[in-house]
Structure 1
Amino acid sequence: MPTRLSIAVDLDYGLPEPADVLLQIAAAALPDQWIESEALDVWSDLPLAAVPGEEGIGQRCWSHAVGRFTARYAATLVVDRLVHPLHRLPPTPVRHLPGPVVGYLMPSRYCPSDKLEGFVRAEFAGLSGGALAAALTEWTARSLRYRPSGSTGTTTALDTFASREGVCRDYAHLLVALARAAEIPARCVAAYAPDVTPPDFHAVAELWLDGGWHLVDATGMASPAEIARICVGRDATDIAFMTVFGTAQLIAQRVRVDRLD
């Protein structure tokens, strides 16, 4: 059943020196989610310049400012997505993967999946395809404790595997790394979703199974049927909501996502 969402974002940062800023906060227009209305206002020294996001999903907006950088995004959108139970999806041999998907089998900066291959082989022997994906998701959800102070911006999936705690980004990184170690293509997704606590930008995983991408939230806070994608990528490097080429100081930030129906 379709879900209508209202999204409101306010960002307020201090920039002590002139800096270029790359924003990814606008929801993506996709076949399973469409925008009814939206507005993005950025107070910047120069006009915005938009470029496509990874895989052509969403957009990145270049800006430039000094002193104060503020941005406001408001949107109403509809999510209408058929969610398939993971455990019922058959495996896809890696040799049959489409070219653009193959890169999501490889280790990346925050998802060093090659370091987890031995664990996956030992812990999940005999499983494949969707059954394996479901088991990896359940293990991640069961093994980690959600703790806002449990990680930093440099925490990798391997660090999270050792500490067994973190925030949504850490859950997504670990699940993506485990899936890649299991020869299941996986990517990170920046998203909006209701019921996320505390309200903020959310990070989830997408796994490639049976010829398509399937959203998975190992934190259990968001239903795949209600997640609105912003952008996708290898890990947090690609999906950060704001990348500052310089220094920035947080003044205030607010993200609110509400169901309308």
Structure 2
Amino acid sequence: MAYELSQTTDLLLQVEVADVADQRVLTSEIDFSHISHMSRVPAEDGLGERIWIRADGEFRCAYSARIHVDRPALDLTALSSAMPRLLPWHTVRYLMPSRYCQSDQFSSFAEDEFGHLEGGAKIDAMRAWIHSTFKYVPGSSNAQTTALDTFVQRQGICRDFAHVLITLARASGIPARFVSVYAPGVTPQDFHAVAEIYLDGTWHLVDATGMAPADTIARIGVGSDAADVAFLGVFGQAKFVEQSVVVTKS
């Protein structure tokens, strides 16, 4: 990626794959153009790291890695959910509405459409409904587009599909969080976004676009919605120059 900075600027970068039990980082390399500061800090929920950068002029970053993903593709319909009062404390924040996921406005719809189902079967039905109802249209949304906007427009990109699934899950009392990932098979190739749903006592990846099976996904970071997991946060002004993402499976 490359950006032009008009003055010395602080940047918060999150592009590296998290090294955790179900996805091991075998090799990793990250290089920058001239920078005056670099420091690492834990990312949301301790999954992965963010990098503080201070740079001026043209900022360039090149990242490459080899990842071994060891995660089964499970049948969602066989998984159960817990009553909200029985959930672990660290999942409760993911029941709440957030900037892009206005779950408090979807309770009636979620009950009418999916109220006859439970647990993973409900999430699977939500995923299928989004996949069949919404069109994947690059350029149809922007950084201000919320789940409510996407619900009305019936189109969007991966972040929008993820926001809608997260919103419907939370509206049904099931914790859900936003995940930035790398995944092969994504068209067009870019950073990808999916949901992670808390079922049967742990988190499970679900891609509402249908492009990325759970056993092929490498997680970068998690948060309440896209605002928590930006690949690049700029505390100043930056002009986009170029960016490319390539993900392959061997």
Task: Please indicate the TM-score interval, normalised by the length of the shorter structure.
Answer: over 0.9
Instruction: Note if contact 1:13-1:250 (Cα within 8 Å) is conserved in structure 2.
Output: yes
2:128 maps to which residue?
A: 138
Gaps of 5+ in 2: none
Q: Give the distance between the partners of 1:173 and 1:107, measured in 2 at CA.
A: 11
Query: Which of 15, 18, 21 is the matching residue for 1:25?
Result: 15
TM-score (structure 1 length as normaliser): 0.94
1:252 maps to which residue?
A: 242
Query: Which of 165, 172, 194 is the matching residue for 1:182?
Result: 172
Alignment of 1:156-167 (within 5 A): 156-167=146-157
TM-score (structure 2 length as normaliser): 0.98
Query: Which of 224, 231, 245 is the matching residue for 2:221?
Result: 231
What's the CA shift for 1:44? 4.1
Q: How many residues align?
A: 250
The DSSP-based 3-state class of the residue aligned with 1:205 is strand
What's the CA shift for 1:134? 0.7
1:202 maps to which residue?
A: 192
Gaps of 5+ in 1: 1-10
What's the CA shift for 1:18? 2.2
Q: Give the distance between the partners of 2:174 and 2:154, measured in 1 at CA.
A: 22
Q: How has the CA–CA distance of structure 1 residues 186 and 44 changed in structure 2, closer, same or farther, with 3 Å as cutoff?
A: farther
1:108 maps to which residue?
A: 98
The DSSP-based 3-state class of the residue aligned with 1:48 is strand
2:231 maps to which residue?
A: 241
Aligned AA for 1:106?
Answer: M
What's the CA shift for 1:99? 0.5
What's the CA shift for 1:124? 1.4
Q: How has the CA–CA distance of structure 1 residues 44 and 108 changed in structure 2, closer, same or farther, with 3 Å as cutoff?
A: farther
Q: Give the distance between the partners of 1:144 and 1:28, measured in 2 at CA.
A: 30
1:127 maps to which residue?
A: 117
Instruction: Note if contact 2:10-2:55 (Cα within 8 Å) is conserved in structure 1.
Output: yes
1:171 maps to which residue?
A: 161
Query: Which of 48, 64, 72 is the matching residue for 1:82?
Result: 72
2:208 maps to which residue?
A: 218
2:52 maps to which residue?
A: 62
What value does the CA root-mean-square deviation take over the aligned residues? 0.9
Structure 1 runs (4+) greater than 6 angstroms displaced: none
What's the CA shift for 1:179? 0.5
Aligned AA for 2:223?
Answer: G
Instruction: Note if contact 2:29-2:63 (Cα within 8 Å) is conserved in structure 1.
Output: yes
